């Protein structure tokens, strides 16, 4: 992987109470609830920029803060306004007291504004868009953008460096399903945890003489598509940290709850949510993030218990071409789901909001997507009880 550019730690925490907004929450029916059940990865996206932009000078100063004059008037592509990539770009822009505004054809660039173009959700759309100066995308789409022969883009920074340890993708479950199928939910997460562990073990010896690593690379190429090279998917996987949660078997999502709490409070001043619906982010995260099933899954694995299960069919929504989520695919490829009596099928969406929609409308019982889109969906849709 090319040298990473260490960038800023963006401080975007604004006390929601300062806005004088009351936190009135109108709870929906219980079966409309959506909960975070596990983590998927931390980090794993990147910011790309036109080489001609960097030719004019750096976008960050010696103190690793963005240079306002260098960002003014830039047009950046994002996968969608609720995606984690868009939210993180907005945090950077807002840290400079600049506006992040939708670009429309004919707009005369304002030096106090950074513009965005939505629906730039893969390498092909980014490379083919002559309007944008750069943007942010998940792996391996980001890797293709900066490595493609003749690309006008180069790497600006990895989100690993901009937002170290940030919550990226999460596993969510539709409460109407999980509450009625608790055993199946535990078994699903047990299979997933085993696949995450297998994935990390394969990545610990990243050589093509390691048969597990070969399997992982082949899966990454399958998920990415025919136009991706072996080198690109290998480099991409180096930038992703795969996880399911923490090591505390009784409270494995403590760190994730903290990240979600901070995110929820940041979303209000960014105008992504109308009302938090709880007294604070910690209270919200305590209801939204439910680690009881993951805790039971970890104990099931630790017990070594095996048995004959009645087969259950489960549909999981995932993002197309996203290797952040490779472990869930390896769980199926390696037969882990089958081991726990599960017949799993995947539905594919172009971005996180698409996955959120699939889970919300009941098309899928589970989904893997970025923390921001599902948090925005749940808060604005009032899909958790206070």
Residues 142 and 123: their CA atoms lie apart, in Å, by 7
Q: Tell me the pLDDT tens digit for each residue of 115-154.
A: 999 999 999 999 999 999 999 999 999 999 999 999 999 9
Chain-wide mean pLDDT for the chain?
Answer: 90
Architecture of domain 45-162: 3-Layer(aba) Sandwich (3.40)
Q: pLDDT value at position 305? A: 74
- pTM, full prediction: 0.86
Residues 251 and 249: their CA atoms lie apart, in Å, by 6
Residue ranges of the chain with pLDDT lower than 50?
A: 1-29
Q: Tell me the pLDDT tens digit for each residue of 202-231.
A: 999 999 999 999 999 999 999 998 789 999
- Alpha-helical segments (H) within the chain: 51-55, 68-71, 84-95, 123-127, 141-147, 159-162, 175-178, 182-203, 211-224, 230-238, 254-267, 281-288, 292-303, 326-333, 336-339, 352-360, 371-380
Enter the tokens of residue 81: 């306004």
Those residues whose C-beta lies under 8 Å from the C-beta of residue 180, and which sit 6 or more positions away, are none
Instruction: Provide the residue ranges of all domains of the chain, joining segments of one domain with +.
Output: 16-42+167-380, 45-162
């Amino acid at each position: 992987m090319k040298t990473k550019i260490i960038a800023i730690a963006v401080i975007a925490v604004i006390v929601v109470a300062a806005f004088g907004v009351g936190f009135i929450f109108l709870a929906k029916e219980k079966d409309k609830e959506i909960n975070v059940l596990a983590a998927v990865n931390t980090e794993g996206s990147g910011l790309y920029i036109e080489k001609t932009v960097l030719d004019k000078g750096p976008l960050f100063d010696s103190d690793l803060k963005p240079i306002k004059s260098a960002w003014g008037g830039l047009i950046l592509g994002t996968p969608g306004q609720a995606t984690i990539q868009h939210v993180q770009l907005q945090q950077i822009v807002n840290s400079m007291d600049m506006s992040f505004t939708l670009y429309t054809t004919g707009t005369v660039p304002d030096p106090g504004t950074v513009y965005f173009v939505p629906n730039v959700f893969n390498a092909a759309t980014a490379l083919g868009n002559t309007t944008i100066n750069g943007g942010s995308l998940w792996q391996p789409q980001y890797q293709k953008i900066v490595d493609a022969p003749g690309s006008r883009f180069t790497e600006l920074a990895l989100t690993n460096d901009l937002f170290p340890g940030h919550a990226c993708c999460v596993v969510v479950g539709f409460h109407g399903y999980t509450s009625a199928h608790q055993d199946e939910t535990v078994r699903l997460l047990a299979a997933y945890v085993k696949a995450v562990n297998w994935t990390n073990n394969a990545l610990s010896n990243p050589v093509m003489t390691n048969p597990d690593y070969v399997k992982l690379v082949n899966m990454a190429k399958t998920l990415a598509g025919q136009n991706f090279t072996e080198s690109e998917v290998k480099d991409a996987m180096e930038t992703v940290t795969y996880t399911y949660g923490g090591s505390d078997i009784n409270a494995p999502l403590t760190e994730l709850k903290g990240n979600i709490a901070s995110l929820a409070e940041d979303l209000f001043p960014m105008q992504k949510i109308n009302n938090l619906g709880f007294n604070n982010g910690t209270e919200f995260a305590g209801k939204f993030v439910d680690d009881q099933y993951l805790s039971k899954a970890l104990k099931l694995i630790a017990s070594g218990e095996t048995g004959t299960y009645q087969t259950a069919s489960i549909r999981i929504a995932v993002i197309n071409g996203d290797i952040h989520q490779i472990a869930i695919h390896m769980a199926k490829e390696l037969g882990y789901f089958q081991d726990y009596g599960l017949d799993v099928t995947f539905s594919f969406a172009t971005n996180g909001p698409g996955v959120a929609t699939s889970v919300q409308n009941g098309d899928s019982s589970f989904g893997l997507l970025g923390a921001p889109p599902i948090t925005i969906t749940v808060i604005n849709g009032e899909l958790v009880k206070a």
